[in-house]
A and B are shown apart, each in its own frame.
Chain A
Amino acid sequence: MLKIKNLHAGIEGKKILNGINLEIKAGEVHAIMGPNGSGKSTLASVLAGRENFEVTGGSVELFDKDLLATSPEDRARAGMFLAFQYPVEIPGVSTTNFIKTAVNECRKYRGQEPLDAVAFLKMMKEKMKLVHIDQSLLSRSLNEGFSGGEKKRNEIFQMAMLEPKLAILDETDSGLDIDALRIVANGVNSYRNGENAFLVVTHYQRLLDYIVPDFVHVLYNGRIVKSGTKDLALELEEKGYDFIKNEVELTLNV
């Protein structure tokens, strides 16, 4: 589904990603972990097409098509979804209206008819239950005045509405209390169906208790320095990131 080969990227001349290799297949859940500043969020941003990041080398393919040459909206329409670490507040844009626009633009791209009001509302009602989101929240301006938990739930709700093939969750656990975390994770889990894939970017292991990954990768200095199963996450939790850093330094010194 997603093939990242030797990806190099940076911002304002500063190199952040130094050769990322990663392949994600349908049905898989991958977790990217790493200390602060290792490049986790940069990877998510580059995949979604944030403009101020500059790709200096390597390639990314989504469904065997060059991803890096496409606009952010076409990536979304092709089935990629980014749940933002800091969802943006947009005053004056109603959440419902916004989601309806997004859903129908994606449908148009896939050659589907736009949903009429009734069908759209029915779909909304269904997905709302998934993340325990309230109708009143959706009639407000997009993310404006939402609490941290409400914003993250709204992200997962949008994911459910847009039905992506690949969802990237960028630090979705940050700023969530345990109850909110559970709700968000349940939303994600109920969306898993063996055909879609997830890339979960997180600093802590605790999210992975709820969204159990098939693979865990550790990012350090812009490269994946270690990959493994969910046990790797537990090991990290126990030993801290220093153990990885030491290991990397050792390899470099040899």
Chain B
Amino acid sequence: MQKEAKEFFNTRFHEQPVNGSALAGFRQQGLDMFNKLGIPAVKHEEWKYTRVNALFNNDLTYNLDASGISKAELDSFRLPQTANATSLVLVNGVYSPELSDIKHSVKDLLVLPLETAAAGEYGAIVKKHLGHSAAYHPDGIHALNTAFTHGGIFILGKSNRVITEPVYIYHITDSRSGFAFAQPRILAYAEQQCELQLVEYYGTIGNEGSFTNEVIEIVAEAASVLDYYKIQHEGPHANHVGTTHVRQLGKCLTNAVTISLSGGLIRNNLNMIMESERGESHMYGLYLLNGKTHVDNHTIVDNVQPNCFSNELYKGIMDEKSTGVFNGKIFVRQDAQKTNAYQSNKNILLGDASSVNTKPQLEIFADDVKCSHGCTIGRLDEEALFYLRTRGISEKNAQSLMLHAFAVDILENIKPQALKVFVDHIISERLDFNF
């Protein structure tokens, strides 16, 4: 299989349109890495619990063309109450300016095709930051995205601008004519003192199944505030591997919230690279799973410089036959003295056939640090359930009340109100929570 996939992608590599050769070398490096590393099998330590190679057994339809989706089809995926916000649409991983709608002023926000940005005035920035995440993911999947960096987007938040409305990025995959494969690539850059919010949302049309292999790299300059939200709510045939790579270049604040509500096989990599002193970052995750959904959250906090603070909280509820995976690594380099890094992962197993694998890791090379991680796997607190029942609340309602409370903890960190309401609505419905 691996060999077939290799042949398939090598053939496709030479077929991809070459509009803008600024990224040709970058892509070639990606292909070389892909050929060298191959598709990770379960023997690969970082893929121990997630059999991603099975996805490559499908007869992939790899369509590098953004046409074929109508405005009406797109609208069925739109998040509620976002009519006034900028929406960027990628179809099968390729940016579609026609379907996108940029509401922000160019004084605040600039959106360019990645190839255009690489060839023009932002070429230096693209060159410097595009591909920085590769070192953190020595596997063929990441390299494959690089090899096919095509139709990507460059987003620039201008300095000293507070951009109040979030930028919504829609990834639409068209699986009507076969198992669709898409590889979006995004580079976002928040200049000094810029406040920028990004929301990523995913949708698949058709029932043949899809596999999105995404890389988004985000750079935050000094005094910027960057909020990132990733919301996954797709059908059981939609699969996803995504890397979100955040670099803090100056003392700034970055927040990331990852919500996985449904899907097939999902792998979310989130990297926070604390490259500047006194940076602060918060990472929140919620996975609320049922059916056979498999969600693997892999996070890395790399403390390169001293005096940084990071806090991480991931919570999961697994029902039916679903599987949750959490792998959190806190890395403190030798120079990163006075690092404060906290990590917590809490899981509730509901389903008889559900499971969870968690691996919180600390790798510490500096002595004057405060780092801790904790993880729990268990059921709802029996004493609390009893307490609620002695007040006349039925067992079922007591359970949904508590499950909702467990999840809400994460939702409270979603700042855009409409988005929070949207997610809460899905969760409440799932948990039969109606109070």
Contact = CB atoms under 8 A, between A and B. Distances in A.
Interface of A: 48-51, 71-73, 75-77, 81-82, 84, 87-93, 97-102, 105-106, 109, 141, 158, 162
A102 B391 contact: yes
Interface string B358-401: 00000000000000000000000111101111111111011001
B405 A73 contact: no
Contacts of B222: none
B391 A162 contact: yes
Given A98-B401, A101-B397, A101-B435, A92 B408 contact: yes
A51 B397 CA distance: 18
Contacts of A71: 389, 395
A49 B387 contact: no
B335 interface: no
A48 B384 CA distance: 14
27 contacts: A71-B389, A71-B395, A72-B390, A73-B389, A73-B390, A73-B394, A73-B398, A76-B389, A76-B390, A76-B391, A77-B392, A81-B390, A82-B390, A84-B387, A88-B384, A90-B381, A90-B388, A91-B405, A91-B409, A92-B405, A98-B393, A98-B401, A99-B391, A101-B397, A102-B393, A105-B393, A105-B394
A92 B392 contact: no
Contact of B381 (A88, A102, A162): A88
Contacts of A141: 405
B406 interface: yes
Contact of A92 (B395, B406, B435): B406
B119 interface: no
Interface residues of B, number: 24
Given A49-B389, A76-B390, A92-B406, 20 more contacts: A51-B382, A51-B386, A72-B386, A72-B390, A73-B390, A73-B398, A75-B390, A84-B390, A87-B387, A88-B381, A88-B387, A89-B384, A90-B384, A90-B387, A93-B402, A97-B435, A98-B391, A101-B397, A102-B388, A105-B394
Nearest to A101: B435
Interface of B: 381-384, 386-395, 397-398, 401-402, 404-406, 408-409, 435
A51 B435 CA distance: 26
Contacts of B435: 97, 100-101
Given A90-B384, A92-B409, A101 B390 contact: no
Nearest to B406: A92
Given A93-B405, A101-B435, A50 B392 contact: no
Contacts of A93: 401-402, 405
A173 to B, nearest CB: 20
Nearest to A158: B391
Contacts of B381: 88, 90
A49 B401 contact: no
Contacts of A87: 387
Task: Identify which of B381, B387, B391, B404 gathers the most chain A CB atoms within 10 Å of its CB.
Answer: B391
A160 B197 CA distance: 47
B399 to A, nearest CB: 12
A2 to B, nearest CB: 16
A109 B391 CA distance: 12
A49 B392 contact: no
Most chain A beta-carbon neighbours within 10 Å: one of B386, B406, B408, B435:
B386
Nearest to B404: A92
B402 A90 contact: yes
B393 A50 contact: no
Contacts of B409: 91-92
A106 B395 CA distance: 13
Contacts of B382: 51
Contacts of B390: 48-49, 72-73, 75-76, 81-82, 84
A101 B393 contact: yes
Contacts of B383: 88
B146 to A, nearest CB: 41
Given A72-B386, A100-B435, A101-B435, A90 B392 contact: no
A102 B381 CA distance: 19
Contact of B397 (A89, A90, A92, A105): A105
Contacts of A50: 386
Contact of A105 (B386, B392, B405): B392
Nearest to A87: B387
A82 to B, nearest CB: 5
Contacts of A92: 404-406, 408-409
A75 B387 CA distance: 12
B15 to A, nearest CB: 52
A162 to B, nearest CB: 7
Nearest to B408: A92
Contacts of B387: 84, 87-88, 90
B392 A109 contact: yes
B170 to A, nearest CB: 31
Which of A48, A89, A105, A109 has the most B CB atoms < 10 Å from its CB?
A105
